[in-house]
Protein backbone atom coordinates (compact mmCIF):
# COMPACT_ATOMS: atom_id res chain seq x y z
CA UNK A 1 0.00 0.00 0.00
CA UNK A 2 2.77 2.37 1.00
CA UNK A 3 4.53 1.61 -2.26
CA UNK A 4 1.51 2.42 -4.37
CA UNK A 5 0.89 5.71 -2.58
CA UNK A 6 4.48 6.73 -3.24
CA UNK A 7 4.10 5.92 -6.89
CA UNK A 8 0.94 7.98 -7.16
CA UNK A 9 2.43 11.04 -5.50
CA UNK A 10 5.53 10.88 -7.70
CA UNK A 11 3.21 10.84 -10.65
CA UNK A 12 1.59 14.12 -9.59
CA UNK A 13 4.90 15.81 -8.86
CA UNK A 14 6.23 14.93 -12.25
CA UNK A 15 3.09 16.19 -13.91
CA UNK A 16 3.41 19.54 -12.12
CA UNK A 17 7.09 20.04 -12.82
CA UNK A 18 6.55 19.33 -16.52
CA UNK A 19 3.95 22.10 -16.82
CA UNK A 20 6.47 24.93 -16.74
CA UNK A 21 8.91 23.48 -19.27
CA UNK A 22 6.16 22.47 -21.64
CA UNK A 23 4.33 25.79 -21.82
CA UNK A 24 7.54 27.56 -22.81
CA UNK A 25 8.35 24.95 -25.47
CA UNK A 26 4.79 25.22 -26.74
CA UNK A 27 5.16 28.98 -27.16
CA UNK A 28 8.31 28.38 -29.19
CA UNK A 29 6.70 25.64 -31.23
CA UNK A 30 3.69 27.74 -32.19
CA UNK A 31 6.00 30.20 -33.94
CA UNK A 32 7.28 27.55 -36.31
CA UNK A 33 4.10 25.49 -36.55
CA UNK A 34 1.25 27.86 -37.34
CA UNK A 35 -1.82 25.91 -38.45
CA UNK A 36 -0.28 22.64 -39.46
CA UNK A 37 -1.39 19.11 -38.84
CA UNK A 38 0.75 16.00 -38.45
CA UNK A 39 -0.50 12.54 -39.40
CA UNK A 40 0.97 9.27 -38.19
CA UNK A 41 -0.25 5.84 -39.25
CA UNK A 42 0.01 3.23 -36.50
CA UNK A 43 -0.60 -0.14 -38.17
CA UNK A 44 -0.75 -2.04 -34.88
CA UNK A 45 -3.07 -5.07 -34.81
CA UNK A 46 -1.72 -7.05 -31.85
CA UNK A 47 -4.04 -5.52 -29.26
CA UNK A 48 -6.75 -7.91 -30.45
CA UNK A 49 -7.06 -11.09 -32.44
CA UNK A 50 -8.25 -10.05 -35.91
CA UNK A 51 -5.93 -9.33 -38.80
CA UNK A 52 -6.74 -6.41 -41.11
CA UNK A 53 -6.90 -3.41 -38.79
CA UNK A 54 -3.25 -2.68 -39.67
CA UNK A 55 -4.35 -1.88 -43.24
CA UNK A 56 -6.49 1.10 -42.26
CA UNK A 57 -3.86 3.90 -42.31
CA UNK A 58 -2.89 3.26 -45.93
CA UNK A 59 -6.48 2.65 -47.00
CA UNK A 60 -7.53 6.00 -45.54
CA UNK A 61 -4.63 7.69 -47.32
CA UNK A 62 -5.79 6.13 -50.60
CA UNK A 63 -9.31 7.38 -49.86
CA UNK A 64 -8.51 11.10 -50.02
CA UNK A 65 -7.59 11.56 -46.37
CA UNK A 66 -5.42 14.55 -47.22
CA UNK A 67 -8.22 16.37 -49.07
CA UNK A 68 -10.65 15.58 -46.27
CA UNK A 69 -8.30 17.10 -43.71
CA UNK A 70 -7.96 20.21 -45.83
CA UNK A 71 -11.60 20.65 -46.71
CA UNK A 72 -12.00 23.96 -44.93
CA UNK A 73 -8.46 25.33 -44.70
CA UNK A 74 -6.75 25.87 -48.03
CA UNK A 75 -3.62 27.20 -46.38
CA UNK A 76 -3.25 24.45 -43.84
CA UNK A 77 -0.05 22.42 -43.98
CA UNK A 78 -0.49 18.65 -43.67
CA UNK A 79 2.61 16.68 -42.75
CA UNK A 80 2.33 12.93 -43.15
CA UNK A 81 4.93 11.13 -41.05
CA UNK A 82 4.19 7.77 -42.64
CA UNK A 83 3.60 4.62 -40.62
CA UNK A 84 5.15 4.11 -37.19
CA UNK A 85 7.98 1.58 -36.88
CA UNK A 86 9.06 -0.06 -33.65
CA UNK A 87 11.37 -2.78 -32.38
CA UNK A 88 10.74 -5.04 -29.39
CA UNK A 89 13.69 -5.32 -26.98
CA UNK A 90 14.68 -8.10 -24.60
CA UNK A 91 13.67 -6.15 -21.46
CA UNK A 92 10.07 -5.98 -22.69
CA UNK A 93 10.03 -9.65 -23.62
CA UNK A 94 11.32 -10.40 -20.13
CA UNK A 95 8.53 -8.29 -18.56
CA UNK A 96 6.02 -10.15 -20.70
CA UNK A 97 7.39 -13.55 -19.72
CA UNK A 98 7.55 -12.79 -15.99
CA UNK A 99 4.65 -10.44 -15.22
CA UNK A 100 2.25 -10.17 -18.13
CA UNK A 101 2.28 -13.58 -19.84
CA UNK A 102 -1.53 -13.75 -19.86
CA UNK A 103 -1.72 -10.55 -21.90
CA UNK A 104 -1.34 -11.22 -25.59
CA UNK A 105 1.60 -9.34 -27.13
CA UNK A 106 2.44 -7.16 -24.13
CA UNK A 107 6.00 -6.57 -25.37
CA UNK A 108 4.77 -5.47 -28.81
CA UNK A 109 2.18 -3.21 -27.19
CA UNK A 110 4.80 -1.48 -25.06
CA UNK A 111 7.36 -1.18 -27.85
CA UNK A 112 4.82 0.30 -30.24
CA UNK A 113 3.47 2.74 -27.67
CA UNK A 114 6.93 3.84 -26.55
CA UNK A 115 7.71 4.69 -30.17
CA UNK A 116 4.34 6.42 -30.53
CA UNK A 117 4.92 8.56 -27.43
CA UNK A 118 8.15 9.90 -28.96
CA UNK A 119 6.47 10.39 -32.34
CA UNK A 120 3.57 12.36 -30.85
CA UNK A 121 6.00 14.63 -29.01
CA UNK A 122 7.85 15.32 -32.28
CA UNK A 123 4.60 15.98 -34.16
CA UNK A 124 3.44 18.46 -31.51
CA UNK A 125 6.76 20.29 -31.61
CA UNK A 126 6.36 20.71 -35.36
CA UNK A 127 2.58 21.10 -35.74
CA UNK A 128 -0.41 22.64 -34.04
CA UNK A 129 -2.45 19.40 -34.15
CA UNK A 130 -1.92 15.71 -34.81
CA UNK A 131 -3.92 12.72 -35.98
CA UNK A 132 -3.01 9.11 -35.17
CA UNK A 133 -4.66 6.49 -37.37
CA UNK A 134 -4.86 2.94 -36.05
CA UNK A 135 -4.53 0.13 -35.89
CA UNK A 136 -6.49 -1.07 -32.93
CA UNK A 137 -7.29 0.98 -29.84
CA UNK A 138 -4.21 -0.25 -27.95
CA UNK A 139 -2.46 2.74 -29.56
CA UNK A 140 -4.66 5.07 -27.49
CA UNK A 141 -2.18 4.64 -24.65
CA UNK A 142 0.84 5.97 -26.53
CA UNK A 143 -1.10 8.64 -28.37
CA UNK A 144 -2.58 10.15 -25.20
CA UNK A 145 0.59 9.57 -23.12
CA UNK A 146 2.73 11.37 -25.70
CA UNK A 147 0.17 14.17 -25.82
CA UNK A 148 0.24 14.43 -22.01
CA UNK A 149 4.02 14.74 -22.04
CA UNK A 150 3.83 17.69 -24.40
CA UNK A 151 0.73 19.20 -22.81
CA UNK A 152 0.23 18.06 -19.20
CA UNK A 153 -3.01 20.03 -18.86
CA UNK A 154 -5.06 17.80 -21.10
CA UNK A 155 -8.65 16.55 -21.25
CA UNK A 156 -9.59 13.28 -22.94
CA UNK A 157 -12.84 12.43 -24.69
CA UNK A 158 -12.97 8.69 -25.44
CA UNK A 159 -15.73 7.95 -27.94
CA UNK A 160 -16.24 4.21 -28.07
CA UNK A 161 -18.68 1.31 -27.58
CA UNK A 162 -16.25 -0.03 -24.96
CA UNK A 163 -14.57 1.51 -21.93
CA UNK A 164 -11.12 0.00 -22.69
CA UNK A 165 -10.26 0.29 -19.00
CA UNK A 166 -9.55 -3.33 -18.07
CA UNK A 167 -6.55 -4.20 -15.91
CA UNK A 168 -4.32 -7.17 -16.61
CA UNK A 169 -6.02 -8.82 -13.66
CA UNK A 170 -9.57 -8.21 -14.91
CA UNK A 171 -9.28 -8.89 -18.65
CA UNK A 172 -11.04 -12.07 -19.78
CA UNK A 173 -9.57 -12.10 -23.27
CA UNK A 174 -6.01 -10.89 -22.64
CA UNK A 175 -6.56 -8.46 -25.55
CA UNK A 176 -4.76 -5.28 -24.62
CA UNK A 177 -6.90 -3.04 -26.87
CA UNK A 178 -9.39 -3.32 -24.00
CA UNK A 179 -6.93 -1.83 -21.49
CA UNK A 180 -5.24 1.39 -22.75
CA UNK A 181 -7.16 3.80 -20.49
CA UNK A 182 -5.95 1.99 -17.37
CA UNK A 183 -2.37 2.98 -18.28
CA UNK A 184 -3.30 6.67 -18.31
CA UNK A 185 -5.13 7.25 -15.05
CA UNK A 186 -3.14 7.95 -11.93
CA UNK A 187 -5.50 5.85 -9.82
CA UNK A 188 -4.96 2.73 -11.92
CA UNK A 189 -1.36 2.84 -13.00
CA UNK A 190 -0.15 1.32 -9.74
CA UNK A 191 -1.84 -1.86 -10.94
CA UNK A 192 0.75 -1.86 -13.76
CA UNK A 193 3.64 -1.78 -11.31
CA UNK A 194 6.02 -3.73 -13.57
CA UNK A 195 5.37 -1.61 -16.66
CA UNK A 196 7.83 1.21 -15.76
CA UNK A 197 5.14 3.84 -16.43
CA UNK A 198 6.89 6.48 -14.32
CA UNK A 199 9.75 6.33 -16.76
CA UNK A 200 7.97 6.04 -20.12
CA UNK A 201 4.75 7.96 -19.42
CA UNK A 202 5.30 10.11 -16.31
CA UNK A 203 2.29 12.35 -16.84
CA UNK A 204 -1.09 10.98 -15.78
CA UNK A 205 -4.56 12.00 -16.82
CA UNK A 206 -6.70 13.27 -13.91
CA UNK A 207 -9.85 11.16 -13.72
CA UNK A 208 -12.08 14.25 -13.76
CA UNK A 209 -10.66 15.19 -17.19
CA UNK A 210 -11.84 11.99 -18.85
CA UNK A 211 -15.28 11.70 -20.46
CA UNK A 212 -16.56 8.63 -22.29
CA UNK A 213 -19.29 8.84 -24.92
CA UNK A 214 -21.13 5.99 -26.65
CA UNK A 215 -20.45 3.05 -24.31
CA UNK A 216 -22.76 0.06 -24.56
CA UNK A 217 -20.61 -3.01 -23.88
CA UNK A 218 -18.97 -2.58 -20.49
CA UNK A 219 -17.39 -5.54 -18.67
CA UNK A 220 -18.49 -5.95 -15.01
CA UNK A 221 -15.05 -5.06 -13.62
CA UNK A 222 -14.95 -2.03 -15.91
CA UNK A 223 -18.35 -0.89 -14.64
CA UNK A 224 -17.03 -1.31 -11.10
CA UNK A 225 -13.91 0.76 -11.83
CA UNK A 226 -15.87 3.53 -13.61
CA UNK A 227 -18.27 3.83 -10.70
CA UNK A 228 -15.67 3.47 -7.95
CA UNK A 229 -13.69 6.40 -9.30
CA UNK A 230 -16.69 8.45 -10.37
CA UNK A 231 -15.50 8.60 -13.98
CA UNK A 232 -17.93 10.41 -16.26
CA UNK A 233 -19.33 8.10 -18.88
CA UNK A 234 -22.27 8.69 -21.14
CA UNK A 235 -23.44 5.25 -22.20
CA UNK A 236 -26.04 4.84 -24.95
CA UNK A 237 -28.90 4.61 -22.44
CA UNK A 238 -28.06 8.08 -21.11
CA UNK A 239 -27.67 9.38 -24.65
CA UNK A 240 -31.11 7.98 -25.52
CA UNK A 241 -32.63 9.53 -22.43
CA UNK A 242 -31.23 13.06 -22.64
CA UNK A 243 -30.14 13.39 -26.28
CA UNK A 244 -26.86 14.32 -27.91
CA UNK A 245 -27.07 18.12 -27.36
CA UNK A 246 -27.31 17.58 -23.60
CA UNK A 247 -24.45 15.05 -23.69
CA UNK A 248 -22.31 17.63 -25.48
CA UNK A 249 -23.22 20.28 -22.92
CA UNK A 250 -22.39 18.00 -19.98
CA UNK A 251 -19.12 16.94 -21.61
CA UNK A 252 -17.96 20.50 -22.22
CA UNK A 253 -19.01 21.52 -18.70
CA UNK A 254 -16.89 18.71 -17.27
CA UNK A 255 -13.69 19.62 -19.12
CA UNK A 256 -11.37 22.32 -17.83
CA UNK A 257 -11.80 25.22 -20.30
CA UNK A 258 -8.08 26.00 -20.08
CA UNK A 259 -7.09 22.51 -21.24
CA UNK A 260 -6.32 21.22 -24.69
CA UNK A 261 -8.44 18.23 -25.75
CA UNK A 262 -7.55 14.80 -27.06
CA UNK A 263 -10.35 12.97 -28.90
CA UNK A 264 -9.89 9.22 -29.19
CA UNK A 265 -12.51 7.98 -31.64
CA UNK A 266 -13.11 4.26 -31.96
CA UNK A 267 -15.13 3.67 -35.14
CA UNK A 268 -17.22 1.11 -33.20
CA UNK A 269 -18.81 3.99 -31.28
CA UNK A 270 -20.89 4.41 -34.43
CA UNK A 271 -23.72 2.00 -35.11
CA UNK A 272 -22.75 -1.06 -37.13
CA UNK A 273 -25.10 0.14 -39.90
CA UNK A 274 -22.63 2.90 -40.68
CA UNK A 275 -19.45 1.22 -39.41
CA UNK A 276 -19.75 -2.53 -40.04
CA UNK A 277 -16.06 -3.26 -40.73
CA UNK A 278 -14.68 -3.28 -37.21
CA UNK A 279 -13.50 -6.06 -34.90
CA UNK A 280 -15.91 -5.70 -32.00
CA UNK A 281 -19.03 -4.15 -33.51
CA UNK A 282 -21.99 -3.60 -31.18
CA UNK A 283 -25.48 -2.80 -32.46
CA UNK A 284 -27.38 0.23 -31.20
CA UNK A 285 -24.60 2.80 -31.44
CA UNK A 286 -24.35 6.45 -32.43
CA UNK A 287 -25.78 7.45 -35.77
CA UNK A 288 -23.35 9.14 -38.13
CA UNK A 289 -25.17 12.43 -37.52
CA UNK A 290 -24.78 12.03 -33.76
CA UNK A 291 -21.08 11.28 -34.18
CA UNK A 292 -20.67 14.35 -36.38
CA UNK A 293 -22.57 16.56 -33.91
CA UNK A 294 -20.29 15.48 -31.09
CA UNK A 295 -17.03 16.08 -32.94
CA UNK A 296 -18.29 19.41 -34.33
CA UNK A 297 -18.96 20.62 -30.81
CA UNK A 298 -15.54 19.53 -29.64
CA UNK A 299 -13.92 21.19 -32.67
CA UNK A 300 -15.77 24.43 -32.01
CA UNK A 301 -13.98 24.74 -28.65
CA UNK A 302 -10.81 25.29 -30.73
CA UNK A 303 -8.99 23.23 -28.10
CA UNK A 304 -8.71 19.89 -29.90
CA UNK A 305 -5.00 19.25 -30.34
CA UNK A 306 -4.83 15.47 -30.82
CA UNK A 307 -7.15 12.95 -32.45
CA UNK A 308 -7.10 9.16 -32.86
CA UNK A 309 -9.22 7.22 -35.31
CA UNK A 310 -8.97 3.49 -34.65
CA UNK A 311 -10.39 0.00 -35.26
CA UNK A 312 -11.37 0.28 -38.93
CA UNK A 313 -10.73 -3.25 -40.25
CA UNK A 314 -10.84 -3.55 -44.06
CA UNK A 315 -10.71 -7.35 -43.88
CA UNK A 316 -14.11 -7.60 -42.18
CA UNK A 317 -17.34 -7.53 -44.18
CA UNK A 318 -17.75 -7.17 -47.92
CA UNK A 319 -16.44 -4.43 -50.18
CA UNK A 320 -19.46 -2.26 -49.55
CA UNK A 321 -19.15 -2.63 -45.77
CA UNK A 322 -15.53 -1.50 -45.97
CA UNK A 323 -16.45 1.49 -48.15
CA UNK A 324 -19.24 2.48 -45.75
CA UNK A 325 -16.95 2.23 -42.73
CA UNK A 326 -14.11 4.21 -44.33
CA UNK A 327 -16.56 6.88 -45.53
CA UNK A 328 -18.00 7.22 -42.03
CA UNK A 329 -14.51 7.55 -40.57
CA UNK A 330 -13.65 10.24 -43.11
CA UNK A 331 -16.88 12.14 -42.37
CA UNK A 332 -15.98 12.14 -38.68
CA UNK A 333 -12.46 13.43 -39.42
CA UNK A 334 -13.80 16.04 -41.85
CA UNK A 335 -16.04 17.55 -39.20
CA UNK A 336 -13.44 17.13 -36.48
CA UNK A 337 -10.98 19.17 -38.49
CA UNK A 338 -13.08 22.05 -39.65
CA UNK A 339 -15.83 21.22 -42.17
CA UNK A 340 -19.05 23.05 -41.38
CA UNK A 341 -22.40 21.62 -42.41
CA UNK A 342 -23.79 25.16 -42.13
CA UNK A 343 -21.35 26.36 -44.80
CA UNK A 344 -18.41 28.75 -44.69
CA UNK A 345 -16.76 31.30 -46.92
CA UNK A 346 -13.32 31.73 -45.42
CA UNK A 347 -11.38 30.75 -48.54
CA UNK A 348 -13.10 32.60 -51.37
CA UNK A 349 -12.81 35.96 -53.06
CA UNK A 350 -15.62 37.89 -51.40
CA UNK A 351 -15.24 40.79 -53.87
CA UNK A 352 -17.38 39.04 -56.54
CA UNK A 353 -20.53 41.00 -55.65
CA UNK A 354 -18.73 44.34 -55.70
CA UNK A 355 -18.27 46.59 -52.69
CA UNK A 356 -21.17 48.06 -50.70
Q: Binding site for Mn(2+), residues?
A: 137, 160, 162, 164, 266, 268
Q: List beta partners, residue 297.
A: none
The answer to whether 160 contacts Mn ion (rule: CB under 5 A) is yes
Q: Which residues are annotated as a binding site?
A: 137, 160, 162, 164, 266, 268
Q: How far apart are CA 297 and CA 289, in angstroms?
A: 12
How far apart (Å, rounded) are the C-alpha atoms in residues 277 and 116? 25
Is 18 among the residues that bind Mn ion (CB under 5 A)? Answer: no
Of 54, 108, 164, 331, the one binding Mn ion by CB under 5 A: 164
Interface region with Mn ion, contact rule CB under 5 A, candidates 40-48, 85-93, 162-170, 219-227: 162-170
Residue among 271 and 338 whose Cβ is closer to Mn ion: 271
The residue (of 11 and 281) whose beta carbon lies closer to Mn ion is 281
Q: How far is the CB of 40 from Mn ion (least distance, A)?
A: 18
Q: What are residue 173's phi and psi, to 5 degrees?
A: -90, -25
Residues whose CB falls within 8 Å of the CB of residue 336, separated by 6 or more in sequence, listed in order? 263, 265, 295, 296, 298, 299, 304, 307
Contact 319, 133 (CB under 8 A): no
Least Å distance between CB 21 and Mn ion?
A: 32
Q: Which residues pair with 232 in a beta bridge?
A: 211
216 binding Mn ion? (CB under 5 A): no
Stretch that binds Mn ion, among 94-102, 152-160, 202-210, 229-237 (CB under 5 A): 152-160
Q: Tell me whether residue 269 or residue 322 sits nearer to Mn ion (CB atom).
A: 269
Calpha distance 81→38 (Å, rounded): 7
**Stretch near Mn ion under the rule CB under 5 A, chosen from 164-172, 218-226, 325-333, 342-350:** 164-172
Q: Would you say 218 or 298 has its CB closer to Mn ion?
A: 218
Instruction: Find out whether 208 and 259 touch, Cβ atoms under 8 Å.
Output: no
Residue 108 vs 266, nearer CB to Mn ion: 266
Least distance CB 312 / Mn ion (angstroms)? 12
255-274 positions binding Mn ion, by CB under 5 A: 266
The H or E element spanning position 340 is none
Nearer CB in complex with Mn ion: 33/326: 326
Query: Is the CB of residue 230 less than 8 Å from the CB of residue 268?
Result: no
Torsion, Cα 80 107 329 288, to 10 degrees, reads -150
Applying CB under 5 A, what is the total number of residues that bind Mn ion? Answer: 5
Cα distance between residue 210 and residue 216, in whole Å: 17
Selected binder of Mn ion within 18, 37, 121, 137 (CB under 5 A): 137
Of the listed pieces 32-40, 75-83, 154-162, 292-300, which binds Mn ion according to CB under 5 A? 154-162
Angstrom distance (rounded) from CA 106 to CA 183? 13
Of 33 and 226, the one with the shorter C-beta distance to Mn ion is 226
Separation between Cα atoms, residue 164 and residue 141, nearest integer Å:
10
**Minimum distance of Mn ion from residue 219's CB (angstroms):** 13
Say if CB 129 and CB 109 are below 8 A apart: no
Closest CA relative to residue 285, chosen from 210, 233, 235: 235
Q: How far is the CB of 176 from Mn ion (least distance, A)?
A: 11
**CA pair distance 257, 154, nearest whole angstrom:** 10
Q: Which chain residues interact with Mn ion by CB under 5 A?
A: 137, 160, 162, 164, 266
Amino acid sequence: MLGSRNLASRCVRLARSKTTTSSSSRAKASVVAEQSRGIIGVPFAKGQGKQGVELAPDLLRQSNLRQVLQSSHDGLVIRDYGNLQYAVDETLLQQQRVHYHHIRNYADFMACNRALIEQVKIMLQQNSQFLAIGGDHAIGFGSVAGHLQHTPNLSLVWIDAHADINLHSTSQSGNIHGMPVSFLLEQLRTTWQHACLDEIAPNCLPKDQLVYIGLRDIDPYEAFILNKFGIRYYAMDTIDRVGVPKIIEMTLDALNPQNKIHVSFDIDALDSNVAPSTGTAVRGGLTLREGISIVEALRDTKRVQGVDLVEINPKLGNERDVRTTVDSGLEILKSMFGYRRSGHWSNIDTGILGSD
